Chains A and B, each alone.
Chain A
Amino acid sequence: MSVSSRRKITQILGAELDKLITLPLIWFTIMGTFIINLVLTRAFTSAGLQGAAGTQSILNIGLASMGYLQAGFIILGILATCSEYTGGQIRTTLTTIPWRGFQLSAKHLALAIITIPVAFIIAASGVLYAFIMMRDTAVVIEIDIMIKTIAGATGYLTLTTLLSAAIGALLRRTTPALVVLLGYYFIVSPLLRDFLPSSKNYFPDTAGSYMYMPPSSDEINVLTPMQGTGISMLWTLIFITVAIVFYRKRDA
């Protein structure tokens, strides 16, 4: 029985989406991230309101929690790939879908389909909250800059999720993957920024952060948003490729 390859890909994608949607932990993570983001934005907003009025931009405050927010998306990415390995689901998956490269690519694609709206809603909710709270005091922002920044934040969070999924597929276990990624994003990277100021712009998270950095005159933005996107995307693609290569070679 031969199935046309186009139909095959659609079916694989459907199956991967189905698996992700029915994973309860994914929903807990998304809800938790949403709530924690609002709490953090509230803290940042009230800290901003106490500061000098009129100097803070809504976008800076609304997206100040991005640094913490990405943790939720890292978990999301790791969950998506590592859940296959707890309890041998992977063997069922590979029995039904023996094309490993397709399967893992479809998983990343399905993850991106879920992540993009979620990241958009979460990033926008933070900015919206800051907007409502600081309407009277803060500098007015044009709507197109705001949309551009939120889109950049969405893209950054999606790329981070995909990168985490690739690392999760490489390491196959939740705890080491979580420790490695959180350790990198929250410990190693801030330290590297101090010790290696010359090459800091080329790491996935610092390059990616230019995607949502609002254009301002006092900060020296070395990379344009497009360059940041390019470097960040390159990192993600490299990791996905490595993950796929290992996935194809390795005993499941």
Chain B
Amino acid sequence: MRAFNAELSKLFSLPGMWLAFLIGAFAPAAIAALDSIAEKEEIIAGVSIRLSEVGYIGLGLGVQGIIILGVLAVSSEYLTESSESGGGNQITTSLTVVSSRFHFLLAKAGAVTVTSALLSIVAILATVSATNLILGEYAPAFEASRLIGVVCYWTFTALLAFGITVLTKNGMIPLTVLIINSSVVTVSYLLTKVTKLAFYLPDRAGTDMLMSGGFHTPFTGGLIMFAWVAVLFIIADIVFDRRDVAS
């Protein structure tokens, strides 16, 4: 529990975290607002076909913030300070204090989970109110099950970013791969054109939790994404257990 508190305090004191919170909390609402404005014109013109999707696009893209959170939580530990301030690594200190590596990783994952779940709830509140404000009487009802899907999707994405970064130790690769892959036209979407297996990739399966008309039902989508997260966490833990800290 103390390790968990320590991880939370480390997470919140990272300067990059503010960027993550800013993007995570406000970008979905902003995108949803823009989308609602466009949607309102369509409703008035009577050609609206995707009213039930309004807002979810923003929430789907808002995982950017959560990706930053998951990546930074780990990569900040490995950041070498400049030689003028000792050239230290935070990870050495962290592992001196919490000597069990499994507990260290578990506490960190717990901190990431709690933070991202909270952030997703903030983002949902902001998005729902933005949509209601603009669409007024036309605003769609947000189903609780899909909103739970959003929370799961955000949390799992954060944990995926976390797990990948434990493996790479450098923040750049996971950040690039995941940001591109959560963009408007994703690589995995492209792969679904080539092979049906791509529907089982974590982000494809995960978006089925919040977008309607996917390949999987929301529940199986969530299960598949959770399986990815669990497998990745186990691999990350094994690698992290066996690795020399300094290397």
Chain B 174-205 interface residues, beta-carbon cutoff 8 Å to A = 175-176, 179-180, 183-185, 187, 190-191, 193-194
Counting CB contacts under 8 A, is A143 at the interface? no
- Determine the residue in chain A with the shortest Cβ distance to B30: A191
Chain B residues lying within 8 Å of A176, measured Cβ to Cβ, are 16, 19
Which residues on B are within 8 Å of A, measured CB to CB?
Answer: 16, 19, 23, 31, 34, 38, 61, 64, 68, 72, 75, 80, 82-84, 171-172, 175-176, 179-180, 183-185, 187, 190-191, 193-194
CB atoms of B194 and A46 under 8 A apart = yes
CB atoms of B84 and A88 under 8 A apart = yes
In the assembled complex, the CB of A107 is this many whole angstroms from the nearest CB of chain B, namely 20
The answer for the CA separation of A46 and B23 in the assembled complex, in Å, is 36
What are 17 of the A-B contact pairs (CB < 8 Å)?
A43-B190, A44-B190, A47-B193, A71-B176, A86-B80, A88-B82, A175-B72, A175-B171, A178-B172, A178-B175, A179-B23, A179-B68, A183-B23, A186-B183, A186-B184, A194-B38, A195-B34
- Determine the residue in chain B with the shortest Cβ distance to A28: B173
Chain B, interface SS category = helix
Q: 4 new A-B pairs (CB below 8 Å) besides A175-B75, A186-B179?
A: A43-B190, A46-B194, A175-B175, A191-B31
Chain A residues lying within 8 Å of B61, measured Cβ to Cβ, are 187, 191
In the assembled complex, the CB of A176 is this many whole angstroms from the nearest CB of chain B, namely 6
Chain A residues lying within 8 Å of B179, measured Cβ to Cβ, are 179, 182-183, 186-187
Chain B residues lying within 8 Å of A178, measured Cβ to Cβ, are 172, 175-176
Counting CB contacts under 8 A, is A75 at the interface? yes
Chain B residues lying within 8 Å of A98, measured Cβ to Cβ, are none
Counting CB contacts under 8 A, is A190 at the interface? yes
User: Contacts A46-B194, A195-B34 hold; do A175 and B16 have CB atoms under 8 A apart?
Assistant: yes
Q: Mark A67-93, 1 if CB is under 8 A from B, else 0.
A: 110010001000000000011100000
In the assembled complex, the CB of B14 is this many whole angstroms from the nearest CB of chain A, namely 10
Counting CB contacts under 8 A, is A241 at the interface? no
CB atoms of A174 and B180 under 8 A apart = no
Chain B residues lying within 8 Å of A175, measured Cβ to Cβ, are 16, 68, 72, 75, 171, 175
CB atoms of A190 and B183 under 8 A apart = yes
The answer for the CA separation of A43 and B192 in the assembled complex, in Å, is 10
Chain A 33-52 interface residues, beta-carbon cutoff 8 Å to B = 40, 43-44, 46-47, 50
The answer for the CA separation of A71 and B75 in the assembled complex, in Å, is 20
CB atoms of A88 and B180 under 8 A apart = no
Closest 6 CB pairs of A and B: A186-B183, A190-B184, A182-B179, A87-B82, A47-B193, A88-B82
* B23, B83, B175 interface centre (most CB from chain A within 10 Å): B175
CB atoms of B19 and A87 under 8 A apart = no
CB atoms of A75 and B172 under 8 A apart = yes
CB atoms of A88 and B83 under 8 A apart = yes
The answer for the CA separation of A44 and B83 in the assembled complex, in Å, is 46
The answer for the CA separation of A183 and B82 in the assembled complex, in Å, is 28
CB atoms of A187 and B176 under 8 A apart = no
In the assembled complex, the CB of B185 is this many whole angstroms from the nearest CB of chain A, namely 7
Q: Mark A138-159, 1 if CB is under 8 A from B, else 0.
A: 0000000000000000000000
* A88, A176, A182 interface centre (most CB from chain B within 10 Å): A182
In the assembled complex, the CB of A183 is this many whole angstroms from the nearest CB of chain B, namely 6
